[in-house]
Amino acid sequence: MGAKPDGFVLRHEWTLVGLLAVLAYVLGFTGFAEVMMFGPDADQHSWWDVGSATLQLFIFETPDATAHWPLYLQIARALAPMVVLYTAASAVWKVVNQQVALYGLLFRKRRFVVVCGIGETGYRIARDYCLNSDKRVVAIDLDPLNALAAELESYGAIVVHGNAMDPLVLMKAGVIYAKELFLCTSDDKANIAIAKNAERLTRRLDTRDIERLEQVAKRHEQPVAGEPPHLGLRCFLCVDAPDIYEVFAAHSFFETNTARFAIRLFNRRETIARNIFNTCAPDLYYRPKSVSDEPMHILFIGFEALVREMILQTALTAHYTDFRLPRITVLCPADQQTRINRFLHRYPHLDKTVEISFVHDDPMTITESTWRRIQEVSHFSVCYVGLESDVEGILSARRLNRLRRLSAMPALNFVVCLNQQNFLAEIIDDDFLPIGLDKSHLPEHEPIEYFETLDQTISIDIVVNEALDVLARTLHNAYLRTQTYLGTSAEQNASVIVWSELPAHKKKANQHAAAHIDIKLRLCNCVAYGADAAAPEVPFPPSDEALEQLAQLEHRRWMADKYLAGYSYGERRDEDRMLHPDLIPWEQLTEADKEKDRDNIRQIPKLLKLQNQKVCQLDL
């Protein structure tokens, strides 16, 4: 849809209407005063009669014979009814327009999207569609005074006020004919209920309806990463609560993928954390190469859901050629202890992937002595701030940076992860600079980056097109081609299916493997560039020694992945009991198992070529 209207008339429509109404009244009053108060029958009229007669112009109550009226009274006689008619027509059109627009969706089947819940998340995905897509947007929100919904309306969205849990509201929005359905209310349970109602509504489509809708979708949808697009309704369900996500991630309903309906659980915090580590990975600030270097030591401020997800990302990706566990210090208030206990209980093998400790203090009031004490073993390599309050997050980073300078301690980079959950975010983030992969140009006196979590993550590209999973999808597609070549069928191997149909836990395994490829490249001073880049392609891995190091690193990364998934060592592989015989140090692996890890490293240039990329030397 088009951009927000900015014409003078549109922006000042009702101001102009009001001025015309005043002008009509003034002209009418002046004219009637001349005719009634200074005419032949002046002694029969009062000023009250003049005012009453003027008002009657607006309700079409005027004499038929007006030959003796002055010109300005004739103008008022025509202008006043026109103002009334325009106002009435606008009021009626405001009511009818929504019904007309909703009816028009019948001619745009599979070419519009429905967004339920216009909060900070729903608003951003709807705005992205309005401004950067040819799909129409239907926004459903319970609050008729929601300013974000009103803004979307100005972008061209159709706003339906009502409870999205009501099937009648979903039917009114034409959800069964939509291409995508986004469930972004603030209540995770409500989102799940809406998804279930939407799935039930799609069952009403008969075979002929499905065929017609598929024909429409085929004409307007393009393949995504080489895969044919899903031709039915795709539902994206935003879940924030980790407990609810864990319960429903493996539920059969959330693996639904039919011609009518497909659903995807969208873990907003996890996706944001992955996106943060995509552009602000710890090794972009400091990279230990051997045990003679200081270990990776990461500071997290706060223990909200986003910080917990970033700790997991650290455990999954922060593996370097010093072959030591990364250190994590979490600075948070003491009232977070219950959350800490539950988190550690949820991931009982976390200590096998990171060395984690907690300091209960307030970053706004922490003393210099405490600041020094928590860095006695090693200085912090980077600090991630993930507080619920954006203002407190910004002030905490700035205060700790000042304390670092006053204490004459080594440089420390800060990444402030802005929550963007209230209107203040629109004000305080106006001057923040874009974040790049090159961190060498950050100002030495204040090396602070501000990551706008929702603006950077909630978009069509990341939520719908899964931009963060391009490499993971390439990994799976390469595996799929190999298995197909070998004649393996889906009955023999449940993973021999397209990416879109892959279960969530198998997608995650590919995601975790893909997320570490860039780190492996950087460890060898390499980077992935486009195939048409001027930089020459270089061999990867650069040497046999590097191959062996990276293969060992890949095994450690794989072990961390398994540990966080809940696996333990067992002499025999048992998926039900979550036991695996390869959860052992590299030195104890068989040569055949080591060769598998080496092959994974050798495959990296081929995988990048499938993405039209090549390995080049990193400019230092």
The predicted pLDDT at position 65 comes to 64
The predicted pLDDT at position 124 comes to 94
Which tops the pLDDT comparison, 221 or 560? Answer: 560
433-461 confidence digits (pLDDT tens): 788 888 888 888 889 999 999 999 999 99
Task: Tell me: pLDDT of 351 over 60.
Answer: yes
Estimate to the nearest angstrom the gap between the alpha carbon of 203 and the chain centroid: 29
Which band of pLDDT confidence, cut at 50, 70 and 90, is reported for residue 4?
A: very low
Q: Please name which of 362, 608, 566, 292 lies closest in space to residue 478, comparing C-alpha atoms.
A: 608
Task: Tell me: pLDDT of 415 over 90.
Answer: yes
Task: Tell me: pLDDT of 207 over 70.
Answer: yes
Return d(Cα 315, Cα 356) in angstroms, integer.
10
Return d(Cα 181, Cα 184) in angstroms, integer.
10
Provide, rounded to the nearest whole percent, the portion of the chain with pLDDT above 70: 94
Contacts of 378 (CB under 8 A, 6+ apart): 294, 295, 297, 327
Task: Tell me: pLDDT of 525 over 50.
Answer: yes
Which band of pLDDT confidence, cut at 50, 70 and 90, is reported for residue 165?
A: very high
Q: Is 525 left (phi over 0), alpha (psi -120 to 50) or beta?
A: left
Positions of E strands within 37-196 = 112-116, 136-141, 158-161, 180-183
Which band of pLDDT confidence, cut at 50, 70 and 90, is reported for residue 1?
A: very low
The predicted pLDDT at position 482 comes to 85
Question: What is the average pLDDT score of the chain?
Answer: 88
Q: Please name which of 137, 124, 114, 247 lies closest in space to residue 189, comparing C-alpha atoms.
A: 247
The predicted pLDDT at position 60 comes to 79
Which band of pLDDT confidence, cut at 50, 70 and 90, is reported for residue 5?
A: very low
Task: Tell me: pLDDT of 609 over 70.
Answer: yes
Cβ 213 vs Cβ 232: under 8 Å? yes
Provide, rounded to the nearest whole percent, the portion of the chain with pLDDT above 90: 54
102-144 confidence digits (pLDDT tens): 888 888 888 999 999 999 999 999 999 999 999 999 999 999 9
Positions of E strands within 377-462 = 382-385, 413-418, 448-452
Tell me which amino acid residue 177 is.
Y
- Pull the structure tokens for residue 174: 């034409």
Cβ 405 vs Cβ 445: under 8 Å? yes
